[in-house]
Amino acid sequence: MDYFIKSIVSLLKEKTDLREDEIEKRIEIPPVLKMGDYAFPCYTLSKILKKPPNSIAEELTKILHPVSPITGIRAIGPYVNFFVDRSIFSERALKKIHEEKDSYGSDDTGSGKTIVIDYSSPNIAKHLAVHHLRSAVIGNAIYHIYKALGYSCVGINHLGDWGTQFGQLIVAYRRWGDESTRKTYTVTDLNSLYVKFHQEAEKNPALEDEAREWFKKLEAGDPEARTLWQHFKDISLKEFQKLYDMLEVHFDAYIGESFYNTMVEDTIRRIKEKGLAKISEEALIVDLEPYNMPPCLLRKKDDATLYATRDIAAAEYRMRTYNFDKMTYVVGSEQKLHFKQIFKVLELMGYDWASRCVHIDFGLMKFKDGKMSTRKGKVVLLEDLLIEAIERIRKIIEEKNPLLEDKDAVAKEVGIGAIIFADLSTKRNKDIVFDWDTVLNFEGETGPYVQYTHARLCSILRKYNQPVTGEVNYELLKEDETFRLIKNLWQFPSVIQRAAESYEPSLLCNYLIDVCGNLNRFYNTYRVLSDVEELTKARVFLVDATRQVIKNGLNIIGIHSPDRM
Q: Which domains does the chain have, with CATH numbers?
A: 3-84 (3.30.1360.70), 165-246 (no CATH)
Q: Is 88 exposed, middle or buried (0-12, 13-18, 19+ CB in 10 A)?
A: middle
Per-residue confidence band for 180, with pLDDT thresholds at 50, 70 and 90: low
State the average pLDDT over residues 292-318. 91
Chain centre to alpha carbon of residue 223: 40
**Residue 55 pLDDT more than 60?**
yes
Taking alpha carbons only, the member of 296, 320, 324 closest to residue 310 is 296
> What is the average pLDDT value for the chain, to the nearest integer?
94
Which pLDDT value is given to residue 97? 98
Confidence of residue 184 (pLDDT cuts 50, 70, 90): confident
Residue 442's pLDDT band (cuts 50, 70, 90): confident
State the Cα–Cα distance between residues 563 and 544, nearest whole angstrom. 12
Q: Are 68 and 89 in contact (CB under 8 A)?
A: no
| Structure confidence by residue, pLDDT tens digits, 398-424 | 999 999 999 999 999 999 999 999 999
Is the pLDDT at 253 greater than 70, yes or no? yes
User: Parallel, antiparallel, or unpaired for β 79-84 and 38-41?
Assistant: antiparallel
Name the least confident of 91-100, 367-376, 523-532: 367-376
How far CA 195 is from CA of 174, 190, 192, 227, 564, in Å, comes to: 14, 9, 5, 21, 46
Categorize the per-residue pLDDT at 369 as very low, low, confident or very high, splitting at 50, 70 and 90.
Answer: low
Per-residue pLDDT averaged across 261-274, rounded?
Answer: 95
pLDDT confidence of residue 181: 63
- Mind listing the pLDDT tens digit for each residue in 505-564? 999 999 999 999 999 999 999 999 999 999 999 999 999 999 999 999 999 999 999 999
**Higher pLDDT, residue 303 or 130:** 130
Q: For 305-313, what is the mean pLDDT? A: 91
pLDDT of 374:
42
| Whether residue 292 has pLDDT greater than 50 | yes
pLDDT tens-digit map of 106-142: 999 999 999 999 999 999 999 998 889 999 999 999 9
Q: By the 8 A CB rule, do 54 and 455 touch?
A: no
- Whether 172 shows a pLDDT value over 50: the answer reads yes
Contacts with 499 (C-beta within 8 Å, 6 or more apart), sequence order: 145, 505, 507, 508
> What average pLDDT score do residues 161-190 get?
87
Given a cut of 70, is residue 373 above it in pLDDT? no
Q: Encode pLDDT of 463-514 as tens digits.
A: 999 999 999 999 999 999 999 999 999 999 999 999 999 999 999 999 999 9
Residues 6+ positions from 321 with CB-CB distance below 8 Å:
none
User: 187: closest CA among 382, 332, 391?
Assistant: 382
Q: Quote the pLDDT of residue 376.
A: 45
For 551, other C-beta atoms within 10 Å of its C-beta total 21
CA atoms within 13 A on the CB side of 75: 15
**pLDDT of res. 370:** 59
In the predicted model, is pLDDT for residue 378 greater than 90? no
Q: For residue 169, is pLDDT > 70?
A: yes
- Does 443 have pLDDT greater than 50? yes
The pLDDT > 90 percentage for the chain reads 87
- In this prediction, residue 182 carries a pLDDT of 66
Residue with the larger pLDDT of the pair 440 and 554: 554
What does the pLDDT read at residue 42? 96
Partners of 84 in beta bridges: 70
pLDDT at site 301: 81
- 372, pLDDT greater than 80: no
**pLDDT value at position 375?**
41
User: Rounded distance, CA 92 to CA 101, Å?
Assistant: 14
Average pLDDT over residues 86-93: 97
Please determine, for residue 263, whether its predicted confidence score (pLDDT) is greater than 80.
yes
- Reference 393, options 418, 424, 367; nearest CA is 418
Where is 222: in which H helix or E strand? Answer: none
Contact present, 447 and 561 (Cβ < 8 Å): no
Instruction: Encode pLDDT of 7-24 as tens digits.
Output: 999 999 988 989 999 999
Q: What is the CA radius of gyration of the chain?
A: 28
Which residue blocks in 160-293 are alpha helix, DSSP H?
165-176, 187-203, 206-220, 223-247, 261-273
- Give Cβ neighbours of residue 245 (< 8 Å, ≥ 6 apart): none
